[in-house]
Amino acid sequence: MTRELPPLEDELALIGAIAHEAGVMAMRYFGGRDLDVRLKDGESPVTRADFAVDAFLRETLLGARPGYGWLSEETPDTDIAGRMGAPRTFIADPIDGTRAFIEAHEIWCVSVALVESGRPVAGVLECPALGETIKAVRGGGAECNGAPIAVRPPRDPALIGGPRGLVDRLATQTGLAVKRHTHVPSLAYRLAMVARGDMDASFVKPSSADWDVAAADLIVHEAGGLLTDADGAPLALNGRDPQKDVMVACHPLLHRTMLGVVAGQAVG
């Protein structure tokens, strides 16, 4: 007999409460000097706070949902078959925007999503230094601090985030009037900015992973936007390889134009 899964609103409440506690934990380290900064793979920084928040999220969430899978940036991915075969899987980034966190900049967040059949069904970005909680549940819309959010019709010129080369290519290849948004150090937060209309669209360069985008993916879609791969397909999450290629996030009116810049190719 198949066990009935909890309602998605209950899942969102669980994720939201635990992400909030994780944000409180992260703030105890924020602005401190004892972060024990290290480099992963020679280039990506990780801190004592990343590991502490990751452990808290993993233990608390799986304690509440022991049959679920787990995938995060700071946990070795040693049970691929287990997480792929689980009825639902948590995908987390304990601190998205670690470089900003280290430098005591406010734009970073705790990102937690719940994925079922390869797609996010509940997600939270807890941004304690900014005083923001951005969340969504499948079919229930997206909100920031309790107020609904939505993508907005494109500006003129369109305000575009992401790598300068892709933004420049958008302008030169399509003739679209474009203004590049200033750098946003957290990818998840940058995607949420598209969801609430702070920018019209963003390119995402290759080398990001499921934990960077899972919660933001749902937030963008529930806000009326699109986040897709270079071929225009929704992201497939919790697969064997969590790494992602180039992506676009945007208001639907910009989707075809954005894809014209990146379709069918991996962009370095």
Cβ contacts of 55 within 8 Å, gap of 6 or more: none
In Å, how far are 65, 66, 90, 166 from 237, measured between CA atoms? 19, 20, 11, 24
CA 107, 178, 198, 212 dihedral sign is negative
Cα gap 50→55, rounded to integer Å: 9
Q: What is the pLDDT of residues 102-158, one digit of tens each?
A: 999 999 999 999 999 999 999 999 999 999 999 999 999 999 999 999 999 999 999
Tokens standing for 220? 């963008």
Kindly give the interhelix angle for 210-222 and 187-195, rounded to the nearest 10 degrees.
Answer: 10
State phi, psi for 49 to the nearest 5 degrees: -65, -40
Cα gap 129→103, rounded to integer Å: 13
240 burial (CB, 10 Å; 0-12 / 13-18 / 19+) is: exposed
Cα gap 186→234, rounded to integer Å: 21
**What is the topology classification, in CATH, of domain 8-148?**
Fructose-1,6-Bisphosphatase; Chain A, domain 1 (3.30.540)
CA 85, 89, 94, 97 dihedral sign is positive
Tokens standing for 195? 């969801």
pLDDT tens for each residue of the chain, 268 residues long: 457 999 999 999 999 999 999 999 999 999 877 788 777 765 778 889 999 999 999 999 999 999 999 999 999 999 999 999 999 999 999 999 999 999 999 999 999 999 999 999 999 999 999 999 999 999 999 999 999 999 999 999 999 999 999 999 999 998 899 999 999 999 999 999 999 999 999 999 998 999 999 999 999 999 999 999 999 999 999 999 999 999 999 999 999 999 999 975 544 3
pLDDT value of position 40: 75
pTM: 0.95
- Tell me which of 1.10.150.120, 3.40.190.80, 2.60.120.10, 3.40.50.20 is the CATH number of domain 158-262: 3.40.190.80
Helices (H), the chain: 8-29, 48-64, 80-85, 98-102, 164-174, 187-195, 210-222, 255-262
| Distance spanning both ends of the chain, measured CA to CA | 48
20 burial (CB, 10 Å; 0-12 / 13-18 / 19+) is: middle
Domain residue limits, the chain: 8-148, 158-262
Cα gap 14→137, rounded to integer Å: 12
Cβ contact 109:126 at 8 Å:
yes
pLDDT value of position 46: 85
Cα gap 130→112, rounded to integer Å: 17
